[in-house]
C-alpha cells in the first residue's frame, strides 16, 4: 500500500507541474523559439559551460585527496602512470576546448530575427584537418600504449620470479607460494576434499613444497606477503564463478576464471612501511581517520589491498585480502616461518 | 495500397495496428513506461550507495521482503543494477528510441506509404511488448530477478547455487531477451528493406536525411550482431537447463563438484560483447541522426560535411563490430589479442571526432533557434564528447588494467551512450511530437525539463569518474567494508542528490508529454520550417501518409539559408523543402 502512496505522490507532483505552468499562463503561441527565449537560453548555455568547467575544477580539486596515491607500488605501474598522465592531459585539453566551442557558439549565434545563417555545407580542407589530426595523435597514443601493455604483460624475461597462486572463491581469497622448487603443484576442483580446500594434487611431486595460505577451521586468510624488488608472477584460479584480482595500488588486475589459469605479474617497488610514509597516503588517511572519528569508528592504517572486481554474488562487495610488501630479507624470513604442505599433512 | 478503405475497428487501429505511425507511438509509450521503471530503480540503488545501512521507507515500500526495515539486501541491490541496465539499454534506448523514430520517420522521410511489411512491423512491436511483460514479471518471482549484472556472465548467471537471482529470474531474463532479439531483428530487416526499396522519386541515397542514414546503418549493425547474442542466450539456456558445458568447466560450489567440463566462460564474453559493443552504437547512432537533423533545422544551416557524416556513420558501424575485445582486456584473453583490440578501438575516435567537429561547425555562424529540441541536441553533443574522451583511457589496454570495472567505466558509458542517447530521444520527442500527435508540447516545461536534466546528468556522472579513479569498483553493495573508500562517501552523497533531482525532473517531461497529447496546442503542418518530407504530410494521420501522389524529391534535405548569386535567400525564406525543384541558376549541392 505504501508503494501506492509513493506512486500517488509522484503523480501529484507531475500534475502540479502542469497546473503551475498553466496558472502562470506561460503557454505561448510561437512555436520555434522567440528572440527572448533564444537570449535567455543562450546565456543559460554559457552558464552550463561554466557549470561544467566548475565541476571539472571542483572534482579535480576535491578528488586530490581521495585518489589512489600517485606513487605506483609496482615498477610496471610507473609506465602505466606515465601513459595515464599523458592521456589524461590530452583528454582534459580536448574536453576543455570542445566544450568551449559548443557552448560559446550556442551563445554567440543564438537566434535573432532577420539574421541570415551562413550557408556553409562543406569544406574538404577542414574535413581533412580534423580527420588527420586525431589520426596522428592517436597513432602516438596507440604506439606508446601498446609498448606499455607489452611491458606489463610479457613475463618471458623475468629472472627468478616469485610464483604465487591466488585462488578465488565466493567470497574469499586463498593463496599458495610455489616453494623451494618455485613450481606450483597441480590442482583441480575435483580434488577438493576436507582440509584440501584448494584441490591440490599431492601425487604431483611439485605440490608438497608449496606453501599455502588456506582457509582453515573457518578462518579467513588474513594477509598475503610479497617481497619488494622481485618480480611476482600471479597464477590465478577460481573455484566457482568469475572473480577478478584487483590490486589498484600496484596498477594490477586480472580475472580469475573457473576452468583455466590466468596470469598477471608485477614487481612490488614500495614496501607497506614506505607507503605509509608517503605524502599522499598520509593526507588520505588523515582525512579518512577524521571522518571515522566523527562516526565513532576506530582509526585505520594504510594497507595494500586485493579486492574482487568482478561481480561474484551477494558478498562481492566484501571479498578482500590484505597485502603486505616487505623488504626481501624480511619476506624470506616470513616465508620460512610458514608451513609447506608436506609439513602440514 | 488498396484504394477502397475497409472500416477500421478499434482493435485494428489502436492495438493490432499495421500503420507505422501508430506502431511508433506504441513503441514510444512502452519505452517510456519501461524507462520510468528503470530510472526509478536507479534512484533506489543510489540511496543505498550514498546512505548505506540507513533506513528508507520508500525502499521498504517498493522492495518488500528484500527491503525489510528500509534497507535493501545485497541480492536486491545487484538485481536493481542488473535490471536497470537491461531495461535502459535494451528496452528504452534500443526499442524505445530506435523503434519509435525508425518507425515514425523512415516512411515519412523517404516518401513511402508505410513500411515494406506492415504485418512484420506489427509482429515486431508485439514481440517487444511481450518481452517487456516477461521482463517485468521476472521482477516478482520469489527468488528475485536476474542479478548477475546486465552482462550476465556465466558461471554466475548459470548456477542458481551462486546467487538466488540466477534461478527463475535468470530464466525469465533469457526468455525475455530471446523474444526481444526476435522483435529487434524483424524491425531491423523491415527498416533496411524499406530504405532500400521504397524511396520516392528523386530520393537518392545521397539525398536522404542523416536520420535515415543513421537508422539504416543501425539496422544493419543490429542484423549482424543481435543473432550472436541470441546464440549466446540459447547456449546459456542449454547450460542452465540441459547440462551442456559450453561456458562452464571445473566448478566446485556449495560443497560439491559440478559435472561441467571443457567449456569456457570467456567464450560467452566474446559472444556477448560481439553484440554488446555494437549495441552501444545501436543506441547512440539513431540519437546522433536525430541530433543532426534537429541541429541543422534549428541552426537554419545545412549540416556541415553531409558526406563526411555519412562516411563516419559507416566507419563507426564497421569498426564497432571489431572492437568488442576491449571489454575483455583483463579477462585472461591472450595479450596479443588485447593489442589488436586496442588498435581498432582507438581508431573509432577518428570518425567520432569528425562528427563532433562537424556539429560544432554546423553551429558556427548559424541563427540558432534554441527551442527544447535544440537544447537537448546541443546537450547531446556536449555529453557525447565528455563521455567519449575518456574512451581514450578505457580503450587503451594498458590503462584499462586499473580502471576496468571501476566506477570510472560507469561514468564513461553513462555519459557517452546513456545520457547522450536519452538526450537524443528527448530531442526527438520534442521535435517530432507534432508529427506523432498533431499537437505541440509545452515549451516552457520543455526548457525546465532540459535544464534540470542537463545539470543533474553532469552532476551525477562527472564526479563519478573520480571515485572510479580512486579505485572504487562498480557493483559494490556498499563501500563500508573498505576503510580506504570512507572518504568517497561525501562524493556519493552529492551524486545521489543530483540523481534524485534528475530522476524527479523527468516527471516534468511525463506531465508535459501526456497532457500535450490531449491538451497541447494544435500543430501546424510544418512547425519548425523544416525541409524534410515528413512535414509535407497532413497533420492528421492518415493511412498511406499522403493524400494523392507521394511528393517527388528534387534536392537534398539541408537547403537552409541558401542564397542565390546576389546573396538573397532563395524564395525569400530561409528553407527550401526537398519537394521544390531546382530553380533556374541554382546549383544543387
Mean pLDDT for the stretch of residues B558-576: 85
Least CA distance to B387: which residue of chain A?
A95
Q: A31 and B466 in contact by Cβ < 8 A?
A: no
Strands (E), B395-517: none
Determine, yes or no, domain membership for A282.
yes
Nearest to A303 by CA among A323, A283, A320, A326: A323
Q: A31 and B156 in contact by Cβ < 8 A?
A: no
Nearest to B279 by CA among B416, B109, B478: B416
Mean pLDDT for the stretch of residues B8-17: 80
Counting the structural domains of chain B, the total is: 1
Is the backbone peptide bond immediately before A171 cis, with ω within 30 degrees of 0? yes
CA distance B347 to chain A (A): 7
The string of DSSP letters for B393-417 reads HHTSHHHHHHHTTBHHHHHHHIIII
Q: What percent of chain B has pLDDT over 70?
A: 99
Q: B393 and A87 in contact by Cβ < 8 A?
A: yes
pLDDT digit string (tens) for A73-131? 999 999 999 999 999 999 999 999 999 999 999 999 999 888 888 888 888 899 999 89
Determine, yes or no, domain membership for B578.
no
Tell the burial category of A90 from Cβ atoms under 10 Å away from its Cβ (0-12, 13-18, 19+): middle
Average pLDDT, chain B: 93
A70–B contact, CB cutoff 8 A: no
* Contact predicate A344/A244, CB 8 Å: no
A328 and A265 inside one domain: yes
Q: B511 and A150 in contact by Cβ < 8 A?
A: no
B295 vs B369: CA distance, rounded Å: 9
| Residue A124 structural domain | 31-113+120-153
B321 vs B346: CA distance, rounded Å: 13
A205 and A323 inside one domain: yes
pLDDT digit string (tens) for B118-176? 999 999 999 999 999 999 999 999 999 999 999 999 999 999 999 999 999 999 999 99
B479 vs B406: CA distance, rounded Å: 13
Per-residue pLDDT tens listing for chain A (345 residues) = 677 777 887 788 877 777 766 665 555 555 688 888 899 999 999 999 999 999 988 888 877 788 888 999 999 999 999 999 999 999 999 999 999 999 999 999 999 888 888 888 888 899 999 899 999 999 999 999 999 999 999 988 888 999 999 999 999 999 999 988 989 999 999 999 888 889 999 999 899 999 998 877 667 778 999 999 999 999 999 999 999 999 999 999 999 999 999 999 999 999 999 999 999 999 999 999 999 999 899 999 999 999 999 999 999 999 999 999 999 999 999 999 888 888 887
Torsions phi, psi for A308 (to 5 deg): -85, 130
Interface of A with B in 225-254 (CB under 8 A): 236, 239-242, 244, 246, 248-249, 251-254
A54 and A203 inside one domain: no
A145 and A212 inside one domain: no
Q: A241 and B307 in contact by Cβ < 8 A?
A: no
Nearest to A230 by CA among A175, A268, A201, A180: A268
Q: How confident is the model at residue B583 (pLDDT cuts 50, 70, 90)?
A: confident
Determine, yes or no, domain membership for A12.
no
Determine, yes or no, domain membership for B48.
yes
Minimal Cβ distance to A127: which of B308, B330, B448: B308
Nearest to A147 by CA among B43, B557, B26, B398: B398
In chain B, the N- to C-terminal Cα span, in Å, equals: 34
- Chain A residues within 8 A of B517 when measuring between CB atoms: none
A193 and A45 inside one domain: no
Determine, yes or no, domain membership for B529.
yes
Tell the burial category of B231 from Cβ atoms under 10 Å away from its Cβ (0-12, 13-18, 19+): middle
Counting the structural domains of chain A, the total is: 2
Interface of A with B in 118-177 (CB under 8 A): 118-123, 126-127, 130-131, 134-135, 138, 141-142, 145-146, 148-150, 152-154, 169-170
B176 vs B188: CA distance, rounded Å: 18
Determine, yes or no, domain membership for B72.
yes
A113 or B364: which carries more pLDDT confidence? B364
Q: B504 and A13 in contact by Cβ < 8 A?
A: yes
Indicate if the pLDDT at residue B228 is higher than 50.
yes
Determine, yes or no, domain membership for B588.
no
B454 vs A50: CA distance, rounded Å: 13
Compute the C-alpha angle B368/B372/B375, nearest 5°: 55
Residue to substitute from B332, B334, B359, B509, interface A, most A β-carbons within 10 A: B332
Mean pLDDT for the stretch of residues B334-362: 93
* Predicted pLDDT at A23: 64
| Least-confidence region, from A2-16, A72-86, B246-260, B392-406 | A2-16
DSSP B472: P
A222 and A274 inside one domain: yes
Mean pLDDT for the stretch of residues B243-253: 93
Determine, yes or no, domain membership for A73.
yes
How many CA atoms, within 13 angstroms, populate the side-chain half-sphere of residue B32? 17
Q: For the CA atoms of chain B, what is the radius of gyration?
A: 24
Cα B195 to chain centroid, rounded: 21
Last residue of a domain, one of A94, A129, A153: A153
Determine, yes or no, domain membership for A170.
yes
* Predicted pLDDT at A238: 95
Determine, yes or no, domain membership for B2.
no
Q: How confident is the model at residue B5 (pLDDT cuts 50, 70, 90)?
A: low
Interface of A with B in 268-307 (CB under 8 A): 284, 287-288, 291-292, 300, 302, 305, 307
B194 vs B74: CA distance, rounded Å: 47
Minimal Cβ distance to A31: which of B398, B440, B483: B440
Q: For the CA atoms of chain A, what is the radius of gyration?
A: 29
B5 or B274: which carries more pLDDT confidence? B274
Indicate if the pLDDT at residue B2 is higher than 80.
no
Interface of A with B in 106-125 (CB under 8 A): 106, 109-112, 115-123
Determine, yes or no, domain membership for B518.
yes
A61–B contact, CB cutoff 8 A: no
Q: Give the count of beta carbons closer than 10 Å to the beta carbon of residue A218.
A: 5
Q: What are the start-end ranges of the H helices in B87-167? A: 100-110, 118-138
DSSP B72: -
* Predicted pLDDT at A61: 82
Determine, yes or no, domain membership for A2.
no
* Predicted pLDDT at A21: 66
Determine, yes or no, domain membership for A107.
yes
Last residue of a domain, one of A153, A178, A205: A153
* Contact predicate A157/A267, CB 8 Å: no
Mean pLDDT for the stretch of residues B513-537: 92
A97 and A239 inside one domain: no
Minimal Cβ distance to B405: which of A112, A310, A320: A310
Q: A117 and B299 in contact by Cβ < 8 A?
A: yes
Q: A116 and B574 in contact by Cβ < 8 A?
A: yes
Strand partners, A163: A233
A214 vs B293: CA distance, rounded Å: 62
Tell the burial category of B507 from Cβ atoms under 10 Å away from its Cβ (0-12, 13-18, 19+): buried
| Residue B506 structural domain | 20-250+265-572
Q: A292 and B486 in contact by Cβ < 8 A?
A: yes
Determine, yes or no, domain membership for A98.
yes
Strand partners, B420: none
A187 and A221 inside one domain: yes
Within 8 A by CB and 6+ apart from A168, the residues are A236, A237, A238, A239, A243, A245, A256, A308, A312, A319
* Contact predicate B191/B107, CB 8 Å: no
CA distance B171 to chain A (A): 17
* Predicted pLDDT at B273: 95
Determine, yes or no, domain membership for A23.
no
A126 and A174 inside one domain: no
A141 and A224 inside one domain: no
Determine, yes or no, domain membership for B138.
yes
CA distance B269 to chain A (A): 11
Which CATH number does the domain housing residue A275 bear?
2.60.40.420
Amino acid at each position: 500500500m505504501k508503494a501506492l502512496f509513493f506512486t500517488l505522490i509522484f503523480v501529484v507532483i507531475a500534475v502540479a507541474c502542469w497546473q503551475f505552468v498553466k496558472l502562470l499562463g506561460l503557454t505561448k503561441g510561437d512555436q520555434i523559439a522567440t528572440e527572448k527565449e533564444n537570449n535567455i537560453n543562450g546565456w543559460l548555455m554559457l552558464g552550463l559551460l561554466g557549470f561544467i568547467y566548475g565541476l571539472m575544477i571542483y572534482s579535480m580539486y576535491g578528488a586530490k585527496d581521495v585518489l589512489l596515491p600517485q606513487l605506483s607500488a609496482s615498477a610496471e605501474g610507473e609506465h602505466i602512470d606515465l601513459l595515464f598522465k599523458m592521456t589524461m592531459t590530452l583528454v582534459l585539453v580536448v574536453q576543455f576546448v570542445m566544450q568551449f566551442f559548443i557552448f560559446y557558439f550556442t551563445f554567440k549565434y543564438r537566434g535573432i530575427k532577420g539574421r541570415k545563417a551562413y550557408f556553409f555545407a562543406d569544406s574538404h580542407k577542414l574535413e581533412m584537418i580534423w580527420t588527420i589530426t586525431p589520426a596522428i595523435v592517436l597513432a602516438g597514443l596507440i604506439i606508446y600504449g601498446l609498448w606499455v601493455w607489452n611491458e606489463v604483460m610479457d613475463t618471458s624475461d623475468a629472472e627468478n620470479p616469485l610464483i604465487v597462486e591466488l585462488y578465488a572463491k565466493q567470497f574469499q581469497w586463498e593463496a599458495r607460494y610455489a616453494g623451494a622448487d618455485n613450481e606450483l603443484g597441480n590442482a583441480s576442483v575435483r580434488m577438493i576434499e576436507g582440509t584440501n580446500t584448494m584441490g591440490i594434487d599431492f601425487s604431483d611431486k611439485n605440490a608438497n613444497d608449496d606453501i599455502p595460505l588456506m582457509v582453515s577451521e573457518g578462518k579467513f586468510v588474513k594477509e598475503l606477503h610479497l617481497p619488494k624488488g622481485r618480480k611476482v608472477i600471479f597464477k590465478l584460479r577460481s573455484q566457482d564463478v568469475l572473480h577478478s584480482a584487483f590490486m589498484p595500488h600496484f596498477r594490477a588486475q586480472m580475472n580469475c576464471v573457473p576452468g583455466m589459469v590466468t596470469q598477471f605479474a608485477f614487481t612490488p617497488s614500495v614496501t607497506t612501511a614506505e607507503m605509509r610514509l608517503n605524502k599522499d597516503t598520509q593526507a588520505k588517511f588523515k582525512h579518512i581517520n577524521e571522518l571515522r572519528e566523527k562516526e565513532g569508528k576506530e582509526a585505520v592504517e594504510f594497507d595494500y589491498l586485493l579486492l574482487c572486481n568482478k561481480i561474484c554474488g551477494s558478498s562481492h562487495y566484501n571479498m578482500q585480502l590484505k597485502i603486505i610488501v616487505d623488504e626481501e630479507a624480511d619476506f624470506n624470513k616470513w616465508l620460512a616461518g610458514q608451513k609447506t604442505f608436506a609439513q602440514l599433512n | 495500397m488498396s484504394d477502397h478503405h475497409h472500416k477500421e475497428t478499434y482493435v485494428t487501429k489502436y492495438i493490432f495496428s499495421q500503420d507505422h505511425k501508430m506502431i511508433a507511438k506504441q513503441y514510444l509509450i512502452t519505452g517510456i513506461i519501461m524507462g520510468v521503471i528503470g530510472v526509478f530503480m536507479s534512484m533506489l540503488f543510489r540511496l543505498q550507495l550514498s546512505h548505506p545501512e540507513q533506513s528508507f521507507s520508500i525502499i521498504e515500500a517498493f522492495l518488500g521482503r528484500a527491503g525489510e526495515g528500509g534497507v535493501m539486501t545485497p541480492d536486491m541491490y545487484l538485481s536493481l543494477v542488473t535490471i536497470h541496465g537491461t531495461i535502459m539499454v535494451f528496452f528504452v534506448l534500443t526499442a524505445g528510441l530506435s523503434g519509435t523514430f525508425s518507425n515514425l520517420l523512415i516512411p515519412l522521410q523517404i516518401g513511402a506509404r508505410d513500411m515494406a511489411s506492415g504485418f512484420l512491423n506489427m509482429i515486431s512491436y508485439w514481440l517487444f511488448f511481450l518481452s517487456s511483460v516477461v521482463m517485468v514479471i521476472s521482477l516478482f518471482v520469489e527468488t528475485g530477478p536476474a542479478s548477475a549484472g546486465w552482462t550476465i556472465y556465466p558461471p554466475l548467471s548459470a548456477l542458481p547455487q551462486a546467487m538466488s537471482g540466477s534461478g527463475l529470474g535468470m530464466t525469465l531474463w533469457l526468455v525475455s531477451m530471446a523474444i526481444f532479439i526476435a522483435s529487434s531483428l524483424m524491425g531491423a530487416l523491415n527498416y533496411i528493406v524499406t530504405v532500400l526499396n521504397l524511396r520516392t522519386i528523386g530520393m537518392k541515397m545521397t539525398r536522404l536525411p542523416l536520420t535515415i542514414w543513421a537508422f539504416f546503418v543501425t539496422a544493419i549493425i543490429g542484423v549482424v550482431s543481435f543473432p550472436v547474442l541470441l546464440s549466446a542466450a540459447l547456449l546459456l539456456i542449454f547450460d542452465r537447463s540441459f547440462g551442456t558445458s559450453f561456458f562452464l568447466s571445473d566448478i566446485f560450489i556449495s560443497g560439491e563438484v559440478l559435472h561441467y567440463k571443457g567449456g569456457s566462460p570467456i567464450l560467452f564474453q566474446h559472444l556477448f560483447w560481439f553484440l554488446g559493443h555494437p549495441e552501444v552504437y545501436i543506441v547512440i547512432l539513431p540519437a546522433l541522426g536525430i541530433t543532426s537533423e534537429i541541429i541543422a533545422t534549428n541552426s537554419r544551416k545545412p549540416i556541415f560535411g553531409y558526406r563526411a557524416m555519412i562516411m563516419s556513420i559507416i566507419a563507426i558501424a564497421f569498426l564497432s563490430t571489431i572492437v568488442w575485445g576491449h571489454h575483455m582486456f583483463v579477462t585472461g584473453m591472450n595479450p596479443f589479442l588485447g593489442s589488436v583490440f586496442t588498435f581498432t578501438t582507438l581508431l573509432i575516435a577518428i570518425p567520432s571526432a569528425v562528427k563532433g567537429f562537424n556539429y560544432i561547425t554546423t553551429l558556427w555562424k548559424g541563427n540558432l533557434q534554441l527551442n527544447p529540441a535544440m537544447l537537448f541536441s546541443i546537450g547531446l553533443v556536449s555529453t557525447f564528447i565528455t563521455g567519449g574522451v575518456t574512451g581514450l583511457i578505457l580503450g587503451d589496454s594498458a590503462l584499462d588494467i586499473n580502471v576496468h570495472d571501476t566506477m570510472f567505466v560507469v561514468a564513461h558509458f553513462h555519459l557517452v551512450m546513456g545520457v547522450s542517447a536519452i538526450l537524443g530521444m528527448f530531442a526527438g520527442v520534442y521535435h517530432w511530437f507534432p508529427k506523432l500527435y498533431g499537437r505541440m508540447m509545452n515549451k516552457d516545461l520543455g526548457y525546465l525539463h532540459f535544464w534540470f536534466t542537463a545539470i543533474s546528468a553532469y552532476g551525477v556522472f562527472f564526479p563519478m569518474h573520480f571515485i572510479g579513479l580512486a579505485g572504487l569498483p562498480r557493483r559494490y553493495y556498499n563501500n563500508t567494508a573498505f576503510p580506504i573508500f570512507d572518504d568517497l562517501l561525501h562524493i556519493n552523497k552529492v551524486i545521489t542528490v543530483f540523481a534524485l533531482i534528475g530522476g524527479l525532473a523527468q516527471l516534468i517531461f511525463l506531465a508535459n508529454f501526456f497532457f500535450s497529447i490531449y491538451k497541447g496546442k494544435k500543430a501546424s503542418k510544418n512547425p519548425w520550417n523544416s525541409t524534410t518530407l515528413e512535414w509535407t504530410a497532413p497533420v492528421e494521420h492518415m493511412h498511406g501518409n499522403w493524400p494523392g501522389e507521394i511528393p517527388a524529391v528534387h534536392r537534398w534535405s539541408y537547403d537552409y539559408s541558401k542564397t542565390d548569386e546576389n546573396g538573397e535567400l532563395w524564395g525569400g525564406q530561409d528553407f527550401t523543402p526537398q519537394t521544390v525543384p531546382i530553380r533556374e541558376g541554382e546549383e544543387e549541392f
